[in-house]
Structure 1
């Protein structure tokens, strides 16, 4: 049985194997091109911005929802309290009645009208923004 002793051909075949060639074409040893580096920096900045927006929206969404719901429910609770106090002393009834009149139905701050319904709606919009930013952040995280 003749076994070839010329190992140069075998070594050439091993040194130019397909996975290594594929690796060197995909990731050249000369370094990352400037355009790829620039694109990575842009993706990282976008990832940071969307994650920051997501964190801020996660803080303010429950606050707006809670304030809006309490503001929406409080006048009706006070009106029902007036009905319960109706049979009692008339002075207490007047005090509770004035308390319900003190709660405004809307506020105007710097030209913007804020109401209980708008706060609830804004809270739900922030929840949607949080979901959108989480989706974009996950996509960008895979891309980086």
Structure 2
């Protein structure tokens, strides 16, 4: 057995750390983030367009990015009860817990590279980079 030690002095020797094997996940797949907010706590963050906010428990008041309306800054708060979900636009978001709440934030998946940019990056020779923009190779 590899873990068996017959000599008690060997017990003092450090052993290699145990490695945990985790299932592979694609790099582009974002992870959801779970957050607990106590009553009257505020969470402010910058959301990417398409970020989803799920209210699992409690109640929240969500205000999106400030907008200009008739020369003043205006924010439209939106009340969300348990079980609600909202897709956020890009910008600063303020979340106020009107009752103790548990929420889940899920960022959108990364967008693929535009084809022309992927093609430019895949070219091996720097001289042929002009081919991306002009469609021909200069000699």
- Larger RCO: 1 or 2 (CA < 8 Å, sep 6+): 1
Judge same fold: TM > 0.5, yes or no.
Answer: no
Larger radius of gyration: 1
For this structure pair, what is the TM-score category when the shorter chain's length is used for normalisation?
Answer: under 0.3
Q: Which has the higher strand share?
A: 2
Q: When the two structures are superposed, what TM-score results if normalisation uses the length of structure 2?
A: 0.18
